[in-house]
Amino acid sequence: MELLTYPNKILEKKSESVEKIDANLLKLAADMKKLLKTIDGIGLAAPQIGKNTRLCVVGYYYKDKDDNKKAKEDSPDIPELILINPEITWKTKKQIIEKEGCLSFPGIEYNIARPEKLHCRYINQQGKKQKIKARGLMARALMHEVDHLNGTLIKDRKIQ
């Protein structure tokens, strides 16, 4: 699995909704989660590995001294999640401006405004509808990943 970087055209295409959760989709999600654990990021969207499918993974991992990757215990704000067809259903008008990077823009960070809090609806691997309330870094991560599924990238959001 290869991580695509800008200006790959796939990154700017709107992704298709998942109609059926089958073995292929679950394999793709598992592979994305595995890849995320090996890189320094908190989220990965399917277009970043060449699939225009509305699927993303989030999670906060770090490398411990034995070189194992595991979820960072002191960061409960970023739970390990696989999100299928995620949708932002509510967000605060209040936005927070912070530096934000993207695995598809290596070494680049832009100032980007994101809502302070939001609600996100998605389908989990079992096909169940879920809703989460997020704030801060998690809200930023979810906005970032949903942007990817719409073909919107950090260069489109940057504040001068």
Q: DSSP H helical segments within the chain, as ranges?
A: 23-38, 136-149, 154-157
Residues 62, 114 contacting (CB under 8 angstroms): no
The residue (of 25 and 154) whose beta carbon lies closer to Zn ion is: 154
Q: How far is the CB of 86 from Zn ion (least distance, A)?
A: 14
Whether 19 sits among the annotated catalytic residues: the reply is: no
Residues 36, 12 contacting (CB under 8 angstroms): no
Closest CA to 42 of 98, 121, 125: 98
Q: Is 119 one of the annotated binding-site residues?
A: no
Q: How far is the CB of 114 from Zn ion (least distance, A)?
A: 13
The residue (of 102 and 146) whose beta carbon lies closer to Zn ion is: 102
Q: Is 120 one of the annotated binding-site residues?
A: no
Tell me phi and psi for residue 45, to 5 degrees. -110, 150
Q: How far is the CB of 23 from Zn ion (least distance, A)?
A: 26
Q: Is 144 one of the annotated binding-site residues?
A: yes
Residues 89-148 interacting with Zn ion (rule: CB under 5 A) = 102
Beta strands in the chain (DSSP E): 43-45, 55-58, 61-63, 69-71, 81-91, 95-101, 109-115, 117-123, 129-135
List 19, 100, 109, 145, catalytic entry:
145
Q: Which residue is nearest to Zn ion (CB)?
A: 102
For residues 59 and 75, what is the distance between their CA atoms, to the nearest angstrom? Answer: 10
The residue (of 21 and 158) whose beta carbon lies closer to Zn ion is: 158
By CB under 5 A, name the binding residues for Zn ion. Answer: 102
List residues forming the annotated binding site. Answer: 102, 144, 148
**Residues in the annotated binding site for Fe cation:** 102, 144, 148
